[in-house]
Chain A
Amino acid sequence: MPKAELLDPQGKAVAGALVRLGKTEFSGVRIGKRFEVTVDRPVDDALLAEVRELAVDMFSNSVIEDVVSVTALREPQGPQ
């Protein structure tokens, strides 16, 4: 996710669209990214730790983004 203190112009544009749709109870939108990483073996703690390391070092840039969660999905999601 973009760091809380940073302007997220994309989120701001979507928040503006919500207002135009009459959805006035939502005061803000912030947009982040989700990465789905596939392996052909069971997910264990070591693998999750490795993915977390990748998430911090490569998938995100710690100057502008925070990693908010790294979890194992039981079933692959989305088209294979």
Chain B
Amino acid sequence: MTTAVTSRPEEARRSRVNPKVLAGGLAVALPLLAVLVANLGRDPRSVRSPLIGRPAPAFSLVPVGGGAPVSLEKLSGKPVVINFWATWCVPCFEEHAALTAAARGLPDVQFLGVVYEDEEARTQEFLRQRPSAYPSLIDPEGKAAIAYGVFGVPETFFIDGSGRIVDKYVGPMTRSTIAALVARAKEGAR
């Protein structure tokens, strides 16, 4: 006769770690964890513009309300600030005053607005109520916006005297932000 139930060394087995399996798991998990940690602070929707450091895409656009087309090439030699905006964009509203003040204070810099996905009549009305110190251009079919890789408004490009894009700013700017970025564009011209 025998007793059928015996104690088995199962518990001992469970607590033992297989070093090969552990090493394999770490080899897969650690690099993934490193990528995660390295990108934790990043906004997944913000993409660095590949245009920075490259020549600014050329355009020739008619200002709001008509007039001679403004082309970028004719402005070379002078730092240029191009602000993409729209009347339906609330942050652009706030930014408008800062840009106008900056344009008045910096006569050696050419400020330009490019109207993004908006009607000319509404833009004209907006500019009549809040006069601007620089021209805003109509961008039919958003060709300039596409060429500049615009994702939304407001987005602002800073171009140095040689026609190279020095910086791109996403979101509304204050006067001090504008001043700092213009200073960098001026440096780039030298």
Chains A and B belong together in one complex: no
Residues of B within 8 A of A (CB): none
